[in-house]
Amino acid sequence: MIKAYIDVTLKKSILDPQGTAVKKGLEKLGLYSEDVRIGKHIEVVLNENNVDAAREKIDEMCRKLLVNQEVEIYTVRFEVI
């Protein structure tokens, strides 16, 4: 079995109001940062032993449902479990 860890974030060209709000909140606490971007983390377990086959399935899931490719990008990392 393979576990996929998918991180989805807004493209750099897209404004991130949540990230801006968090950055301002951190600044009020005296904790300064250059930038804050908010995203989502998804974990999917596949009954698959081949990482290349798992990557194809995950890419399809991301294209069809998990990621809005107009405004978001994603990265994936795999773990054999």
Question: What's 2-80's CATH class?
Answer: alpha beta
Report the pLDDT value the prediction gives residue 75, as an integer from 0 to 100: 98
pTM to 2 decimal places:
0.88
**Kindly report the CA angle at 33 between 39 and 38, in degrees rounded to 5?**
10
Q: What is the pLDDT of residues 9-47, one digit of tens each?
A: 999 999 999 999 999 999 999 999 999 999 999 999 999
* 3-class SS letters over 12-30: CCCCCHHHHHHHHHHHHCC
Report the pLDDT value the prediction gives residue 36, as an integer from 0 to 100: 96
Q: What is the pLDDT of residues 57-67, one digit of tens each?
A: 999 999 999 99
